[in-house]
Amino acid sequence: PAALDGLRQEAESFIRACSRERGLSDAEAERRWAEVRGQIEATGTYAHTFEELEHGARMAWRNANRCIGRLFWNRLHVFDARAADTEEKVFEALTRHIAFATNGGEIRPSITIFRPAQDGGEQVRIWNHQLLRYAGYEGETGVVGDPASVAFTQACRSLGWQGDGTPFDLLPLVVQVRGGAPRWFPLPEGLALEVPLAHPEIDLFQGFDTKWYAVPIISDMGLEIGGISYSAAPFNGWYMGTEIGARNLSDESRYNLLPLIARNLGLDTSSNASLWKDRALVELNVAVLHSFKRDGVSIVDHHTAAQQFGTFQRNEAREGREATGRWSWLIPPLSPATTDIFHSRFEDRELSPKYFYQRPAYL
């Protein structure tokens, strides 16, 4: 049937590309492709070797058009968790990932790959958007915590989880296997590293104790390699400072801290032309970068990240590949025109292997 034809084509092009990039001989590539074709004929699917899983996950990062951080694509740490077949085993693999990736602040870009869909059914699903994220509680006077987490927080509460009701409550891990009832697990004490935020010279947050978690670990995207889809493959890098300082803490629909910061800076918030939002934004981003560096937690500023992306583009050209990208995501949200990315153009072609969006598991 057509589906098998599609799988055969995706599988063949991946096996050949992966073998070539790993320096295997044509004979070895041919032998491996014949083996894979045999598995597809016999079972309708095939299993990746660990090396194929490892290189496929790295290729998918290299192909991620919205990612500015791709220079280090070939140094992704890959963990094979395809044997995990219960909620407890999945939870254990997730806590190991968080500990390994955090590494005391010297963050290691990593991915843990759980078993792929089988006979059309998802085997493992993580309900969290990120393994570490703050709860959002909707009340009469508005939202306490992260408004982006309100729906997932409600799902967690309906499963029996209860938060402390502070603006920075870390959410539980919610895991589902073979479409069964989701299980929630609180994060083990001391596992999640957090960074209290302070500005080097100014008392920016007066009274509102602001902090953010150290490691961003995206856990709701799928990973497709050679026609096989992995529905749970949490991956982490380190933050670019603007993600925290120019979006998560500053967006009006997130923590909306600019008015508070502007007041504490003594700025005139009655007129746009005073550029009070811009001044508050810069000092907030200074505080984020200063605090992470103070605590020895990996982070990159948007100028350095843009320069590193330029190096990635040159490296790709040397390898005979064109670095594809989505301009609107690659430019940073603060001072975009001060980076070379802003003055460049990119093809937003979708390449495979790739990370892809999945419908939310809890809506």
Ligand X SMILES: N=C(Nc1cccc(CNC[C@@H]2CCCN2)c1)c1cccs1
Q: Is 327 in the site for ligand HEM (CB under 6 A)?
A: no
Q: CA geometry: angle at 192 spanning 236 and 232, to 5°?
A: 40
Phi first, then psi: give them for residue 14, nearest 5 degrees: -70, -50
Q: Which of 61, 184, 238, 276 is catalytic?
A: 238
Instruction: Give me the least distance between CB of 306 and ligand X, in Å please.
Output: 14
Instruction: Give me the least distance between CB of 9 and ligand HEM, in Å please.
Output: 23
Is residue 238 annotated as a catalytic residue, yes or no? yes
Q: Which is nearer to ligand HEM, 130 or 264 (CB)?
A: 130
Q: Which of 319, 320, 323, 313 lies closest to 351, judged by CA?
A: 323
Is residue 156 annotated as a catalytic residue, yes or no? no
Q: Which does 127 bind (CB under 5 to 8 A by kind): ligand X, ligand HEM, none?
A: none
Pick the piece of the chain touching ligand HEM (CB under 6 A) from 121-129, 154-162, 238-246, 335-343: 238-246
State the residues that interact with ligand X by CB under 6 A: 216, 218, 235-237, 239-240, 243
Q: Is 114 in the site for ligand HEM (CB under 6 A)?
A: no
* CB-based closest residue to ligand X: 237
Dist. CA 173–CA 55, nearest whole Å: 28
Q: Which is nearer to ligand HEM, 191 or 218 (CB)?
A: 218
Pick the piece of the chain touching ligand HEM (CB under 6 A) from 33-41, 61-69, 131-139, 150-158: 61-69
Dist. CA 54–CA 49, nearest whole Å: 9
Q: CA geometry: angle at 90 spanning 85 and 93, to 5°?
A: 125
Pick the piece of the chain touching ligand HEM (CB under 6 A) from 31-39, 45-53, 65-73, 254-262: 65-73
Q: Give the dihedral sign, CA 336/340/343/347.
A: negative
Q: Is 68 in the site for ligand HEM (CB under 6 A)?
A: yes
Contact predicate 79/112, CB 8 Å: yes
Dist. CA 213–CA 201, nearest whole Å: 22
Q: Is 111 in the site for ligand HEM (CB under 6 A)?
A: yes
Dist. CA 340–CA 309, nearest whole Å: 9
CA atoms within 13 A on the CB side of 322: 9
Task: Say if residue 353 is preceded by a cis peptide, omega within 30 of 0.
Answer: yes
Q: Is 80 in the site for ligand HEM (CB under 6 A)?
A: no
The per-residue DSSP string of 302-333 comes to HHHHHHHHHHHHHHHHHTT------HHHHS-S
Is residue 18 annotated as a catalytic residue, yes or no? no
Q: Is 230 in the site for ligand HEM (CB under 6 A)?
A: no
Q: Pick from 80, 85, 92, 243: which binds ligand HEM (CB under 6 A)?
A: 243
Q: Which of 12, 243, 279, 329 is catalytic?
A: 243
CA dist 153 to 176, 183, 184, 186, 187, Å? 16, 14, 12, 13, 15
| Stretch 329-358: interaction string toward ligand HEM, x if CB under 6 A | x-------------------------x---
Pick the piece of the chain touching ligand HEM (CB under 6 A) from 36-44, 59-67, 163-171, 315-323: 59-67
Q: Which does 68 bind (CB under 5 to 8 A by kind): ligand HEM, ligand X, none?
A: ligand HEM
Contact predicate 308/300, CB 8 Å: yes
CA atoms within 13 A on the CB side of 272: 0
Give catalytic residues, as residue numbers.
Answer: 67, 70, 238, 243
Q: Report the interface residues with ligand HEM, using CB under 6 A.
A: 61, 64, 66-69, 72, 76, 109, 111, 235, 237-238, 240, 243, 300, 305, 329, 355
